[in-house]
Chains A and B, each alone.
Chain A
């Protein structure tokens, strides 16, 4: 089976840094994705990790440790528009679909 865990909600302050953690257990592994989803909208792609380490893309970075089944998404210089849900998602095998976690709702305070 597959299981993806992430915190339900987090709160952070505008301009600050926040780290959203994700742990997963899957029968195979062919990549971990982070998506952003604003209320009532479709998920949009943020990052992809398939090898251990940190991938940086502007204000957003994502880290993966395959041996620990662990990833985090780091958001820097938070802006009010970053208020959204952040979805951790895993592809189990090469030809597999992507499975989503329940998402972390991030609230940004002024």
Chain B
């Protein structure tokens, strides 16, 4: 079964440092997302990406965050200057279509990157 792959699985970084979280979505999917989940809290939407541009972003996704699809397979989330409160599990997700049988399946999530900012 196709998978969404995220690397690294764990990342520890010092406050103020830049981090890049990497994702390889399912190859024929068109819609890509980043979510985060702070420990013990709900899964929160960060950003959606379609046709090589951001289609929507949340209030959390401020100027410190950026996304890129540099080579047609990878989908990255960059945090420019990490803060302690950025510590969370970051999930990448992809979806083939918004409607029809595939739309019924919602997202396929990657296994996540646990980011710890110290």
User: CA separation between A75 and B97, bound complex, in Å?
Assistant: 28
Whether B99 and A94, one on each chain, are in contact in the complex, defined by CB atoms closer than 8 angstroms, is yes
User: CA separation between A102 and B38, bound complex, in Å?
Assistant: 11
B109 / chain A contacts, CB cutoff of 8 Å: 42-44
Q: How many of chain B's residues have a CB under 8 angstroms from any CB in A?
A: 24
Q: How many of chain A's residues have a CB under 8 angstroms from any CB in B?
A: 24
User: CA separation between A54 and B55, bound complex, in Å?
Assistant: 32
Does B96 lie at the interface of the complex (its beta carbon under 8 Å from any beta carbon of A)? no
B11 / chain A contacts, CB cutoff of 8 Å: none
Whether B91 and A45, one on each chain, are in contact in the complex, defined by CB atoms closer than 8 angstroms, is no
Does A81 lie at the interface of the complex (its beta carbon under 8 Å from any beta carbon of B)? no
A35 closest partner in B (C-beta)? B106
Which of B41, B43, B105, B108 is the most central at the interface, judged by chain A CB atoms within 10 Å of its CB? B43
Does B65 lie at the interface of the complex (its beta carbon under 8 Å from any beta carbon of A)? no
| B21 to A: closest C-beta gap in Å | 14
Does B98 lie at the interface of the complex (its beta carbon under 8 Å from any beta carbon of A)? yes
Whether B106 and A97, one on each chain, are in contact in the complex, defined by CB atoms closer than 8 angstroms, is no
CB contact between B106 and one of A33, A41, A102 (< 8 Å): that residue: A33
User: CA separation between A31 and B110, bound complex, in Å?
Assistant: 22
Whether A42 and B106, one on each chain, are in contact in the complex, defined by CB atoms closer than 8 angstroms, is no
CB contact between B98 and one of A35, A48, A87, A95 (< 8 Å): that residue: A95
Does A98 lie at the interface of the complex (its beta carbon under 8 Å from any beta carbon of B)? yes
Does A78 lie at the interface of the complex (its beta carbon under 8 Å from any beta carbon of B)? no
User: CA separation between A45 and B44, bound complex, in Å?
Assistant: 16
Q: Given contacts A94-B99, A95-B55, A95-B98, is CB(A102)–CB(B41) below 8 Å?
A: yes
CB contact between B110 and one of A33, A35, A42, A100 (< 8 Å): that residue: A42
| B38 to A: closest C-beta gap in Å | 12
Does B48 lie at the interface of the complex (its beta carbon under 8 Å from any beta carbon of A)? yes
Does A99 lie at the interface of the complex (its beta carbon under 8 Å from any beta carbon of B)? yes
User: CA separation between A44 and B109, bound complex, in Å?
Assistant: 7
User: CA separation between A35 and B37, bound complex, in Å?
Assistant: 14
Q: Given contacts A94-B99, A97-B33, A103-B42, is CB(A42)–CB(B112) below 8 Å?
A: yes
